[in-house]
Structure 1
Amino acid sequence: MPVDRAEFTAALGQYAAGVCLLTVRDGIDDVGTTVSSVMSVSADPPLVAVGLSAAGYPAEVLEEVGTCGLTVLGAQHAIVAARFSSAGRPSARHLLESVPWSRAPGSEAIVLDDGLTALDCRLERLVEAGDHVLALLAVDEVLPGGPAGGPLLRHRGRYVDATGHPPGRP
């Protein structure tokens, strides 16, 4: 019997996951997307995997360019995460007008200055996985983050802080 998609999504929503911002700089613009399907794959060599919508523009641009930045978002970044998860979003630079950022040295992708940490990555390969692709990324450099703070999490379809509350609320 096939699994009901809504039931499956609701079940996985029970799993709290960290939230990252994946950005790619191509020759024309900067593209970014919020991702919560990120996992450590290997320490030697350093590899991470990121789940992306197979039909999405970020996966297409990442495959074409071959490098990206991955910023681990703190609880203070809930608005940034929401901006990058909405459909029809403009250039990454426009979505970050009031947020301090810089460029990762290798990929030249945008990384947030006050993120918990950031990774400068190179695409090893894309692996088809249903309606998504897994981007296997080689980490070329770990970039320091801003002041220590709590992580931004995605839980039950909402962004929350480490206490399970919406960021900025008691």
Structure 2
Amino acid sequence: MPVDRAEFAAALGQYAAGVCLLTVRDGIDDVGTTVSSVMSVSADPPLVAVALTSAGYPAEVLEEVGSCGLTVLAAQHAIVASRFSSAGRPSARHLLESVPWSRAAGSGAIVLDDGVVALDCRLDRLVPAGDHVVALLVVDAVPVLGAGARPLLRLRGRYVDESGVPHARP
């Protein structure tokens, strides 16, 4: 008997996950998306994995460009996470007007200056996985390391702080 999709989503929602912003600079514009399916894969070579909707524009642009920035969002970035998870979003630069950011040296992608950490990455390969693709990313540099920053988490469909308290709506 197949698992009910809503029950499956509710079950996985019980797992607190860090929230990240993946950005790609494609020569014309900057594309970004909020992701919470991120994991460390290997220390040697340094690899991380990110799950992206296979039919989504960010996956298409990442495959074409071959590099990206990945920022682990800090607690104060709940509104940024919401902006980048909305459909029909404008250019990444427009969604970050009041947020300090810079460009990663290798990929040229946007990384947030006050994130928990930011990674400058190259695409190793995309692996089909159901309605998603898993992007295996080689980490070339760590342009931001905010060791004291409080992380933004997603739990039960809401953005929460590290103690599980939901963020107040602005």
TM (normalized to structure 1)? 0.97
- Report the 3-state secondary structure (helix = DSSP H, G, I; strand = E; otherwise coil) of the residue aligned with 2:59: helix
Supply the AA of the counterpart residue of 2:5: R
TM-fit CA distance, 1:148: 1.8
- Report the 3-state secondary structure (helix = DSSP H, G, I; strand = E; otherwise coil) of the residue aligned with 1:41: strand
Partner residue of 1:166?
166
Partner residue of 1:65?
65
Q: Structure 1: state its 5+ residue gaps.
A: none
Distance 1:21 1:47 in 2: 17
Q: Structure 2: state its 5+ residue gaps.
A: none
- Report the 3-state secondary structure (helix = DSSP H, G, I; strand = E; otherwise coil) of the residue aligned with 2:150: coil
Partner residue of 1:122?
122
Partner residue of 2:27?
27
Partner residue of 2:157?
157
TM-fit CA distance, 1:26: 0.2
Supply the AA of the counterpart residue of 2:14: Q
TM-fit CA distance, 1:82: 0.3
Identity %: 83
- Report the 3-state secondary structure (helix = DSSP H, G, I; strand = E; otherwise coil) of the residue aligned with 2:55: coil
Q: What does the per-residue CA deviation read over 1:51-95, in whole Å, with 9 as the maximum and x for residues that have no partner?
A: 000000000000000000000101100000000001000000000
RMSD: 1.2
TM-fit CA distance, 1:147: 6.9
CA contact (8 A) 1:38 1:51 kept: yes
Q: What does the per-residue CA deviation read over 1:18-57, in whole Å, with 9 as the maximum and x for residues that have no partner?
A: 0000000001100000000000000000000000000000
Partner residue of 2:102?
102
Q: Is 2:10 the counterpart of 1:10?
A: yes
Q: What does the per-residue CA deviation read over 1:96-144, in whole Å, with 9 as the maximum and x for residues that have no partner?
A: 0000000000000000000011000000000000000000000000122
**How many residues in Structure 1 have an aligned counterpart in Structure 2?**
169
CA contact (8 A) 2:115 2:149 kept: no
Distance 1:159 1:136 in 2: 25
